[in-house]
Structure 1
Amino acid sequence: MADLTQQEWASQLENDKDAIVLDVRTQDEVDEGYIPEAIHLDIHKGQEFIDEIKKLDPEKSYYVYCRSGGRSGQACSVMNSLGFKKAYNLIGGFSEWKGPSTQ
């Protein structure tokens, strides 16, 4: 897992042809706004979350965010343990996101 600053995350995401954005917040949080084209997988769903992660392509790059960076860090650790080598955590999460979003 790599913790990336907001600027690093946005820059790397923009230049990564294998990039997939993952939103690991609750549905209520997603309803308040999200980064466009993000896949929503609520980390609070435990085994269901892990089962959904296992369906993803481990060769892709995953840019993971939550509200403040804690849950997304946990999600990246889970992904690493499942064989994902490119999982990037957004430091500060969506609460500090300055890029495009739906709100």
Structure 2
Amino acid sequence: MKKIIFTLALTSFGFLGCGQKSTLKTNQTQKTEKQIDGNIYILSKTKFAKAIEKKGVQLVDVRTPGEYQDGTIKDAQLIDYKQPKTFDSKFAALDKDKPVYLFCRSGARSQAAAKKLVEMGFKEIYDLEGGYLNWTN
């Protein structure tokens, strides 16, 4: 009887240990990537920078033309969130099955834009945490 209890106790500790390891991994991932609304992910500056290094990335600055002219991330195309008709038509020309990387000044507009993109059928949207202000600091 003692052997059975001992075996069960060891087995339980083994399962608990495995569960704890995966929780730690999840917590580490959440520090650099937050998922919201299913298809939308907030990326840290570091992860965002690494992700947009790839060729053919759909990188979009959703700020105004004036903000864009003051500086932007290399290879970003301007699609002004505040111009609904232009916003819709320009995003309609992008590939909805490929990831889209968004940023604005501080993160609020790009979050609103990301939610609109989900409604338009985009599958993966990545938003720069803290926006362009974070990027330049």
Q: TM-score, normalised by structure 2?
A: 0.66
C-alpha separation in 2, matches of 1:91 and 1:60? 20
Query: 1:34 aligns to what?
Result: 72
5+ residue gaps in structure 2?
Answer: 1-39
Amino acid corresponding to residue 2 of structure 1 in structure 2? Y
Could you tell which deviates more after superposition, 47-56 or 35-44? 47-56
Q: Which has the larger radius of gyration?
A: 2
- The CA deviation at 1:18 is 4.7
C-alpha separation in 2, matches of 1:97 and 1:30? 14
Question: Sequence identity, in percent?
Answer: 34
User: Can you list the C-alpha shifts for 1:50-78, whole angstroms capped at 9, x where unaligned?
Assistant: 12211211122111000001111111111
C-alpha separation in 1, matches of 2:131 and 2:59? 12
Amino acid corresponding to residue 29 of structure 1 in structure 2? E
Instruction: State how 1:1-103 maps to structure 2 within 5 Å.
Output: 1-14=40-53, 16-98=54-136
- The CA deviation at 1:11 is 1.9
- The CA deviation at 1:25 is 0.3
- The CA deviation at 1:17 is 4.5
5+ residue gaps in structure 1?
Answer: none
Q: May I ask how many residue pairs the two structures share in their alignment? A: 98
Amino acid corresponding to residue 52 of structure 1 in structure 2? K
Structure ranking higher in helix proportion = 2
